Amino acid sequence: MLSTQQNMLLIMTTIGFSLLVNIIIKVFFILSINKTSKQIPKQYKKFSDWLVWLIIIPFFGSILSLITLYFNLPNAIKRYFPNNKHITSICNSLRRWSLIFALMPVLGFLFLFIIIIVKIINIPIFIYTTIILYTIISFVISFTFIISFCLCWSKVIAVRIMMAMAQEIQDKPELLNQ
Amino acid sequence: MLLFSQHQLTILAVIGNIFNVCLLLLIPILFALSVYKTSKQIPDKYKYFPDWFAWMMIIPLLNYIFAWIMLPFGVPGAIKRCFPDNNYIKPFHTSLRRWGLILVLIPIVTIIIMIITMLVTVLLVGHNPATPSIHLWLAIAFGTIGGLLFLLSLFSFIMYWAKVATVRPILVMANAMQDKQQ
């Protein structure tokens, strides 16, 4: 058996390692968003580009990603290509999934607070039902969070390539009349 | 400092695990849906295999054959035939083929390694119970290889899914542009 000190060390190491992995993955995600954001001229954007780096903050990063992924990037792209219905639809879905990506951790914390409050009040039946609900809901939340993160990332990459294609057609309209 | 009694914890674990298993069964269905939706974007004349082969990937045991057909050859081959000269789509079908091949080759590699493990165990140390340390080292070695293979398969699964989801809107747009050209 491990002593209390060893247990604490193990827990701290696990938390530190998961935070490190979290930050490394987020750096690549942010670089990807930056690459997409660079393709849009400045006059279409309402916020500056460096706000994307707020995503790197642990625990609160995903709610701060609303600034870029919900308000800044999709609206700027829509203003840049107002008549392209494919790009508009993918921007709409990026907005939807980024909202889910931002709200899932908030929901998780909310349920955690509810559980702590119920524990403090200490009514046995309530504890039982809330904990059962929490195990189920926390799994759903983490599952949805990972899926929405992957989908946000894939939409950011897809919109970058679609913008490049639309740009090429705008620059050389004779490609359409070959 | 116990938050719950043993009884409560047992019930929690049982309910949580049943629910988690149900949710994990969802993953193949969602993956098949994703592959099907991407495959549907390509016109029928470019396809070697029908779209509904993607749904066969849900069935246990049979799914491996259909995964061999669809993942490395069906979807990327159709994309390649449909858009042979599009520079934006080219990296996608090469990477889809690569990750799909890795995904379907890993079970074969695992089986080969298992056979090698058995042969080594039987032939080298099977008749000599006096050397338990060799057993230990073999177990550690093959366990490490198995763990790495599992990580690789997980990573290639995520990469394949992400690529399939990313290429779908691009295919829609490229199709629309091709229709305009004609």
**The predicted structure's pLDDT at residue B102:** 94
Residue B87 contacts A, CB cutoff 8 Å = no
CB pairs < 8 Å spanning A and B? 66
| 8 Å CB contact of A131 and B4 | yes
Cα–Cα distance measured from residue A153 to residue A94, given in angstroms and rounded to the nearest whole number = 9
- CA-nearest of B150, B156, B121, B151 to B138 is B121
Dump pLDDT digits (tens) for B35-68: 999 999 999 888 888 989 999 888 888 888 999 9
| 8 Å CB contact of B165 and A154 | yes
| 8 Å CB contact of A119 and B16 | no
Q: Which residues of A touch B180 (CB under 8 A)?
A: 176
Cα–Cα distance measured from residue A5 to residue A57, given in angstroms and rounded to the nearest whole number = 28
pLDDT of A88 higher than 60: yes
Nearest residue on chain A to B31, alpha-carbon basis: A147
Dump pLDDT digits (tens) for A140-160: 898 899 889 999 999 999 999
Residue B181 contacts A, CB cutoff 8 Å = yes
The ipTM value here is 0.78
| 8 Å CB contact of A162 and B170 | yes
Output the DSSP codes for chain B.
--SS-HHHHHHHHHHHHHHHHHHHHHHHHHHHHHHHHHHHTS-GGG-SS-GGGGGGGGSTTTHHHHHHHIIIIIHHHHHHHH-SS-TTTHHHHHHHHHHHHHHHHHHHHHHHHHHHHHHHIIIIITT-TT-HHHHHHHHHHHHHHHHHHHHHHHHHHHHHHHHHHHHHHHHHHHHHHHHHH-
The residues near A157 (Cβ < 8 Å, ≥ 6 apart) are A32, A36, B166
Does this model's pTM top 0.90? no
Mean predicted confidence (pLDDT) in B83-87? 87
- On whether the CB atoms of residues A69 and A77 are closer than 8 A, the answer is no
The residues near B50 (Cβ < 8 Å, ≥ 6 apart) are none
